[in-house]
């Protein structure tokens, strides 16, 4: 049994307080060491492991901090391994991360989710900002223009049908009014660019199919944010006029695009000067955060602004050179694949790779914490209570996906039936769904307390469907085998 009190009579002066504290820590350390040795401890005794590191009321807090750092390092190693296993197993890493959160949270109670509940939305928003900026850096304007029509049609039509399907399910299952039902549908309606991007890098699909799905995922995030923001404004007593809503959506996109393009052009001129300085990646990240905050203050679409900023950085130098907008030396192509002068080409490619690596790894770090925290926040009672509702929402999403892909065959006539089948399976929900769900709970209160658990269940089910699609892709489009050249037969000179 732990010593209940460690007091020393006659030592009330300030000079002896430090000595008393050191003596108390030493006594507690000796007691914990003896109890550790005498407890017949094994690594299977999880409860003792937890109590050993989280004994309340002890003066020595270093064990808690050490355990936190060990848990942090273990999560990052797990996230790295899960991300690399995608190409071999096809299992999205988000499933492993959320399952890990469930294990260390509701199952083993190693972490108290209430401590991190307030930070979850911040982690999710930051990860979304980084992922969209990274996606903008990797996009080529020529590819977007050539596949823009198909991607836009799939994004708008699939999102609209998904919102309608989930809304009808909530109307009948929860007996909600139209606006609350539309809020749930708008949250669950869009696919996640943060999940589908790594999967598209691993599956063997034609470039046209990948770019179409990429455009859909990128626009889907923006559509979901616009829809949820507008519906929250209406639910709070704002105007429900169709004209005002249309103008609000249009003006927010215009503000976002204009801000992203103008700041992107300015930053593309400054980057050659700043790239030789230390910490220029951090400075670019600061600009991304300032764009997000500034456009949000101007009532524009902040996520679209971040995406357009990355897209401008990636494509403006090539457009500048093509239209002769500057000197040859000044308009060197920073990020495009167009050949440039030999003395600049190597450094430009190096800088491009450095920027993508920095922001990609930062997004990986924040995204890992977010999905683990999301799993730790899950309540099993809520999952059991809304399991049927989650399956109903998934059925509505799958039907809406099938209808949108089959209806849009005119937009991608060159796609085969197998490619259209895979497009149906590629409907993962993820980061934006969880972030918007938490935002709605904070804005509307207890009426939507079920939404985080429902979002978790839908994210899990749709990622399992993505796993089915990735396995089908490996079977339908296997990796080409590299032919091993046969050794040449020796020729005998006559």
Instruction: Give the pLDDT confidence score for residue 446 in this predicted structure.
Output: 83
Among 125, 147, 150, residue whose Cα is nearest residue 439: 125
Q: pLDDT band at 334, cuts 50/70/90?
A: very low
Residue 350 CB burial class (10 angstroms; 0-12, 13-18, ≥19): exposed
Res. 239: pLDDT tops 60:
no
Q: What local confidence, expressed as pLDDT, does residue 330 receive?
A: 41
Q: Is the pLDDT confidence value at 206 over 70?
A: yes
For the chain, give the percent of residues with pLDDT over 70.
73
Q: What is the pLDDT of residues 18-58, one digit of tens each?
A: 555 555 555 555 555 455 444 443 333 344 444 444 444 44
Query: Between 280-297 and 120-138, two packed helices, what is the crossing angle to 10 degrees?
Result: 110
| Span 215-237, average pLDDT | 82
pLDDT of residue 171: 93
Q: Which residue has the higher pLDDT, 471 or 379?
A: 471
**Which two tokens mark 11?**
């030592």
For the chain, what percent of residues have pLDDT higher than 90?
A: 16
- In this structure, of 137-151, 167-181, 185-199, 359-373, the range with the lowest mean pLDDT score is 137-151
pLDDT tens for residues 346-401?
455 566 567 767 777 887 888 788 788 878 877 777 778 888 999 999 999 999 99
- Domain parsing of the chain, residue ranges: 119-475
C-beta separation of 197 from 135 below 8 A? yes
User: Is the Cβ–Cβ distance between 187 and 455 less than 8 Å?
Assistant: yes
Confidence at residue 411, expressed as pLDDT on a 0 to 100 scale:
74
Q: 313 pLDDT exceeds 60?
A: yes
Averaged pLDDT of the chain: 75
pLDDT at 181: 94
Q: How far apart are CA 379 and CA 148, in angstroms?
A: 41
- The pLDDT assigned to 382 comes to 73
Comparing C-alpha atoms, which of 406, 416, 373, 477 is closest to residue 79?
373
Q: Give the pLDDT of residue 41.
A: 38
* Nearest Cα residue to 182 out of 426, 440, 459: 440
Mark residue 175 as left, alpha or beta (left: phi above 0; alpha: psi -120 to 50; beta: remaining): left
* pLDDT tops 90 at residue 59: no
In this predicted model, which residue has the larger pLDDT, 157 or 330?
Answer: 157
Q: What integer pLDDT is reported at residue 22 of this predicted model?
A: 58
Per-residue pLDDT band for 94 (boundaries 50, 70, 90) equals confident
Q: What is the model's pLDDT at position 349? A: 54
Mean pLDDT, residues 238-245: 66
Q: Which of 38-47, 74-83, 191-200, 446-455 has the lowest mean pLDDT?
A: 38-47
Using the predicted structure, report yes or no on whether residue 76 has a pLDDT greater than 80. Answer: yes
Q: pTM of the predicted model, to two decimals?
A: 0.70
Looking at residue 53, its pLDDT comes to 43
pLDDT for res 60 = 45
Q: What pLDDT, on a 0 to 100 scale, did the predictor assign at position 425?
A: 92
- In the predicted structure, residue 9 carries a pLDDT above the cut 50: no
Confidence bin at 84 (pLDDT 50/70/90): confident
Least confident range from 218-227, 255-264, 319-328, 370-379: namely 319-328
CB atoms within 10 A of CB 334: 23
pLDDT at 416 over 50: yes
- Integer Cα distance of 27 and 20 in angstroms: 10
The helix/strand/coil state of 39 is coil
φ, ψ (nearest 5 deg) of residue 139: -85, 140
Q: What pLDDT, on the 0 to 100 scale, is given for residue 42?
A: 39
Query: What is the CATH number assigned to the segment(s) 119-475?
Result: 1.20.1530.20
Structural contact between residues 132 and 307, judged by C-beta atoms closer than 8 angstroms: yes
Distances (CA, A) of 493 to 487, 488, 489: 18, 15, 13
């Amino acid at each position: 049994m732990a010593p209940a009190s460690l007091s020393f009579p006659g030592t009330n002066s300030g000079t002896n307080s430090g000595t008393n504290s050191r003596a108390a820590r030493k006594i507690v350390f000796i007691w914990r060491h003896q109890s550790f040795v005498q407890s017949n401890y094994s690594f299977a005794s999880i409860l003792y492991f937890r109590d050993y590191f989280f004994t309340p009321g002890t003066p020595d807090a270093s064990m808690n901090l050490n355990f936190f750092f060990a848990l942090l390092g273990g999560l990052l190693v797990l996230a790295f391994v899960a991300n690399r296993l995608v190409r071999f197993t096809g299992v999205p890493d988000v499933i492993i991360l959320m399952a890990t959160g469930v294990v260390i949270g509701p199952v083993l109670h190693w972490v108290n989710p209430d401590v991190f509940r307030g930070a979850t939305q911040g982690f999710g928003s930051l990860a979304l900002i980084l992922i969209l900026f990274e996606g903008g850096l990797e996009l080529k304007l020529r590819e977007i223009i050539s596949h823009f029509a198909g991607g836009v049609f799939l994004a708008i039509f699939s999102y609209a049908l998904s919102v309608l399907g989930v809304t009808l399910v909530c109307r009948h299952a929860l007996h909600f009014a139209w606006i609350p039902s539309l809020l749930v549908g708008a949250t669950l309606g869009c696919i996640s660019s943060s999940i589908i991007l790594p999967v598209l890098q691993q599956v063997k699909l034609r470039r046209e199919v990948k770019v179409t799905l990429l455009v859909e995922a990128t626009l889907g995030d923006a559509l979901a944010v616009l829809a949820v923001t507008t519906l929250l404004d209406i639910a709070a007593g704002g105007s429900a006029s169709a004209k005002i809503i249309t103008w609000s959506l249009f003006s927010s996109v215009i503000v976002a695009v204009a801000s992203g393009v103008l700041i992107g052009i300015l930053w593309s001129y400054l980057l050659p000067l700043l790239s030789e300085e230390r910490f220029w990646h951090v400075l670019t990240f600061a600009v991304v955060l300032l764009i997000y905050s500034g456009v949000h203050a101007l009532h524009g679409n902040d996520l679209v602004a971040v995406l357009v900023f990355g897209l401008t950085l990636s494509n403006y130098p090539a457009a500048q050179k093509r239209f002769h907008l500057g000197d040859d030396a000044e308009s060197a192509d920073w990020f495009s694949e167009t050949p440039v002068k030999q003395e600049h080409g190597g450094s430009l490619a190096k800088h491009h790779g450095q920027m993508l690596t920095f922001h990609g790894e930062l997004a990986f770090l924040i995204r890992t914490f977010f999905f683990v925290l999301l799993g730790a926040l899950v309540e099993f009672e809520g999952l059991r209570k809304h399991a049927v509702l989650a399956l109903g929402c998934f059925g509505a999403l799958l039907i809406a996906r099938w209808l949108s892909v089959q209806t849009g065959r005119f937009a991608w006539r060159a796609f085969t039936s197998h490619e259209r089948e895979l497009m149906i399976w590629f409907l993962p929900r993820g980061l934006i769904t969880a972030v918007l769900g938490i935002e709605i709970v904070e804005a509307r209160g207890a009426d939507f307390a079920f939404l985080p658990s429902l979002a978790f269940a839908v994210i899990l089910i749709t990622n399992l469907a993505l796993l089915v699609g990735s396995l089908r892709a490996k079977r339908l489009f296997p990796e080409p085998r590299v032919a091993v050249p046969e050794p040449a037969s020796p020729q005998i000179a006559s």
